[in-house]
Amino acid sequence: MSETGAARPGWREDLPIYAILLLLLVIAASVLYAVSLSRPDNAAGMPHPDLPGMMVGGDGAARWAPIAGAVYVFHTAFMILGGLLFYLGVPVHRRGWRITLVLAAVTAVMLLVTHALHQSYTLFLETGLTVFMGGFPAPAFLALFATWGAYVLYDILFVVAFRHVFLNAEDEAAFNALAAEMKALRENGAAG
């Protein structure tokens, strides 16, 4: 119990914020790791013998290989962070198994898209081959449409579940009563 007599939230209510802090540390560590790596030899190519300022050659796979793991960890942590921030927006008394399961499923879809994006990009760099999706090379399509399309699932969930999860009629009535009480106190304070 706190000084006001209200029960302190338990560890389950605090867990999302600790998970968010942990993910932010993972994101920072992956960026610091990628930045600290040395540049691979001949990754950017060499100067063109006849055209000054132009580079030829270069090995995209050699540039990608050292940072691929850090980029994958960063992207995965970022996608999970989106789900946790959404979950943090759900009132504590409404965090039941249904909303948790739906959010986990949407986040899993986002992680599948992230995995497909990284796999297709790595495959392209290693082999030079790619498939086309929607008129684009697979990595570009996944980055442009699938990643943001997966975020649309969060938007749809928010719209569909708004009245049930985020602001139902009881919570709205309690808010309106509190707002009326605050207005009455302000008016009485100004009149007195």
Asked if 146 and 111 touch (Cβ cutoff 8 Å), the reply is no
Q: Is the pLDDT at 25 greater than 90, yes or no?
A: yes
DSSP-assigned letters across all residues of 134-161: TTEEHHHHIIIIIHHHHHHHHHHHHHHH
Q: How far apart are CA 36 and CA 66, in angstroms?
A: 11
Tens digit of each residue's pLDDT (9 = 90 or more) over 119-132? 999 999 888 888 99
Q: What is the C-alpha radius of gyration for the chain, rounded to an integer number of angstroms? A: 25
Strand 136-137 versus strand 55-56 pairing type: unpaired
pLDDT digits (tens, 9 = 90+) for 50-97: 888 777 777 778 788 888 999 999 999 999 998 898 888 888 888 888
Tally Cβ neighbours within 10 Å of residue 77: 19
Share of the chain above pLDDT 90, in %: 33
pLDDT band of 16, cuts 50, 70, 90: confident
- H or E element in which residue 55 lies: strand 55-56
Under 8 Å between Cβ of 110 and 85: no
Burial per residue of 9-38, b for 16 or more beta-carbon CB atoms within 10 angstroms, e otherwise: eeeeeeebeebbeebeebbeebeeebeeee
Residues with Cβ within 8 Å of 167's Cβ and at least 6 positions away in sequence, in order, are 175
Closest to 167 (Cα-Cα) out of 104, 94, 85: 94
CA angle 185, 191, 192 (to 5 degrees): 90
Residue 26 has pLDDT above 50, yes or no: yes
